[in-house]
Amino acid sequence: MRQSLLLIPLLAILACDNTATEPQSVVVDAVLTVSPSTGTILTDFVFDASETSTTSRALEFRWDWNNDGVWDTGWSGSAVATRRFENASVTVKVEARSGDISDTALEPITLFLNHGEQVGEIRVLNNILPLDITWDGSQFWVLGSIGSASTTINRINLGGEITTSYPALLSHSNGITWDGDHLWVTNNYVGSGTEQTLLFEVDPATGLNLNSYEVAYSPQPSGLVYRDGVFFHGGGTGNVEGDNLIHKYDAEANELLQFATPPGTESPRNLAFDGVDLWLVAYGSDSIFVVDAATGTVKRSFEIEGHLRAPFIVNGFLWLPFTEEDEGEDRLFLKKFVP
């Protein structure tokens, strides 16, 4: 009788152990999103498979960039990938796996390829004579003057409203860019027998100077641009040999490279940088020149009607400022083009 009483709880324990150790099947459900879904040859498309679900903890991913059945990458633990494209329409495939179990997901994108085509514009509520333009991730900054006033720095939202405005540090400021935290402005200083080209780091909230650096002198420095830890600026009078140069600096204004501007781009008034190439506008020109940022070689060019200046690349699109008559008065328009 005592043996039977001990046997009953032992059988219950064994039954519980068997239930707990039953193998569970692994399930993978691949999910893929892309941002943005449309763009240009300069757009950095971000593909995100991080919402992929699985009953297992470990996931790996690989990518087929044109859905041709050939995997373009090996397996990796990263669920996010960034890529540029050149075809008008592309479908990207991701495969997610956990062990031997996998699932795939597809996401299409569309590219605008008609270079120079206008695809949007912003009507600025105040007329600003623009010298240069930059973008801080949510709004534009325009260096210019309103009416007959001295040079100002103006932040403009996507509705065309000026949300911040203050005087530039010096009256001869002529280039502006954004480094992720602060504004930078180029300026020519002439005084006491000294001619200097200065690079100022500016607090965007107050307009006050945080740092300044002397860089290579140029009679007309302009087109300042920053990306990935480097600055570019160009300048020149168009008629002085050796003045028509593009300069490249590191984050502490140490010169890394310089080269002469290509034929047709003398006196570069403004420039943009897409991470690989420079986009130049020469004084009085109606052409955009795409120039190799390492050699200065022109890769291609195309025309946009109007007096061009201050190009800037935002999310893969080319933006240019234009002053046009609107309701009987001059007004600034920021126009969006296919690069």
pLDDT confidence of residue 266 = 64
Report yes or no: 222 and 234 within 8 Å, Cβ to Cβ.
yes
For residues 197 and 218, what is the distance between their CA atoms, to the nearest angstrom?
A: 6
Instruction: Check whether 12 has a pLDDT greater than 70.
Output: no
The domain locations on the chain are 28-111, 118-337
> Who has greater pLDDT, 219 or 140?
140
Confidence grade of residue 97 (pLDDT, cut at 50, 70, 90): very high
49 backbone φψ class: left, alpha, beta (φ>0; ψ -120 to 50): alpha
58 backbone φψ class: left, alpha, beta (φ>0; ψ -120 to 50): beta
Computed on alpha carbons and rounded to an integer, the radius of gyration of the chain in Å comes to 28
Residue in the block written with tokens 């997901």: 105
Residues 28-111, CATH architecture: Sandwich (2.60)
Mean pLDDT of the chain: 83
pLDDT confidence of residue 1 = 44
Contacts of 199 (CB under 8 A, 6+ apart): 184, 185, 186, 212, 213, 214, 215, 224, 231, 233, 249, 253
pLDDT confidence of residue 163 = 93
118-337: CATH, from 3.40.50.1000, 2.120.10.30, 1.10.580.10, 1.20.1250.20: 2.120.10.30
Burial of 13 (0-12, 13-18, 19+ CB in 10 A): exposed
For the residues of 23-58, what is the DSSP string, one character each? -----EE---EEE-SEE-TT--EEEE-TT-EESSS-
pLDDT confidence of residue 116 = 85
Contacts of 255 (CB under 8 A, 6+ apart): 215, 216, 247, 248, 249
Instruction: Check whether 299 has a pLDDT greater than 60.
Output: yes
Across the range 77-95, mean pLDDT stands at 93
pTM: predicted TM-score of the whole model, two decimal places? 0.80
**Pairing between β-strand 129-135 and β-strand 140-145 as defined by DSSP bridges:** antiparallel
> Who has greater pLDDT, 17 or 304?
304
Across the range 48-52, mean pLDDT stands at 94
pLDDT confidence of residue 91 = 95
Report yes or no: 237 and 267 within 8 Å, Cβ to Cβ.
yes
Instruction: Check whether 13 has a pLDDT greater than 60.
Output: no
